[in-house]
């Protein structure tokens, strides 16, 4: 039996989510965003699952799994970014203890030389 349009759209959606995942893993968020915009457009063209046959159910499951992997990667990237920002903040806070605001570090010159 040939593929249905729904099955083909779901397969294309899976490919789109996997490509967006690859872009996220490569830290190419602009590409990921572009791919996700395309995925969003694909989702609009996919009918509700009430009348899926077995092949469409399997294709839908694969698309949902790909989406889940992408969401997990985005959550991990967000957590890593939050950790990096926390470290920057802690560094700035530590530097502020050396004589005021961290943006003034290195601007004072001693005349004792």
Instruction: Tell me what pLDDT residue 19 has.
Output: 98
Q: What is the mean pLDDT of the chain?
A: 87
**pLDDT tens per residue across span 74-104:** 999 888 888 878 888 877 777 777 665 545 5
Residue 81 or 65, more confident: 65
Q: Where are the domains of the chain?
A: 5-71
pTM over the 0.95 mark = no
The band of 111, judged by pLDDT with boundaries at 50, 70 and 90, is low
**Residue 106, CA distances (Å) to 77, 87, 90, 110 in order:** 34, 21, 19, 11
Give the closest residue to 14 by CA, choosing from 72, 58, 77: 58
Token digits of residue 5: 């349009």
């Amino acid at each position: 039996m040939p593929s249905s349009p729904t099955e083909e759209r779901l397969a294309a959606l899976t490919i789109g989510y996997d490509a967006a995942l690859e872009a996220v893993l490569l830290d190419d968020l602009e590409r990921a965003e572009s791919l996700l915009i395309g995925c969003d457009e694909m989702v609009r063209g996919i009918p509700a699952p009430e009348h899926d046959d077995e092949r469409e159910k399997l294709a839908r499951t694969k698309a949902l799994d790909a989406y889940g992997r992408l969401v997990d990667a985005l959550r991990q990237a967000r957590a890593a970014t939050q950790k990096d920002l926390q470290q920057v903040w802690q560094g700035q806070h530590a530097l502020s203890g050396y004589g005021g605001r961290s943006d003034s570090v290195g601007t004072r010159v001693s005349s004792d030389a």
